Structure 1
């Protein structure tokens, strides 16, 4: 699973000025960026960190960050 991938845009992103998050696998890491500010760089995760994040997100562990 070390193959690089192209950028994938979140299906929750909107094409008309909304939130745009993209992710890809590159050099054995998962990179995440804001597609509207690509020059700002990326946040990088190991595959284990990314897997843990997705597991927590799917279980609703971060929902409280959204507020009431």
Structure 2
């Protein structure tokens, strides 16, 4: 079964002038890239790493990194 998906953009990215993060499932991993510079490459996570990141983000673990 092919688990590859198309690139998806965060719904939070639409109102900031095009600076967007995109993600997709590819070859058993999750890849993330900057939509303004896709040729710059991707960051690749295992599904376990990605799930842990999302869980932490939902719990507010990274709120201290927010820029005003």
The TM-score normalised by the length of structure 2 is 0.89
Paired residues in the alignment total 68
| Gap regions ≥5 residues in structure 1 | none
| Gap regions ≥5 residues in structure 2 | none
Q: Deviations over 1:3-48 (max 9, x none)?
A: 1000000000126624201000001000000000101000000000
Greater helix share, 1 or 2? 2
The TM-score normalised by the length of structure 1 is 0.89
Instruction: Report the CA distance between 1:2 and its aligned residue.
Output: 5.8
RMSD of equivalent CA atoms: 2.0
Runs of 4+ in 1 over 3 A off after TM superposition: none
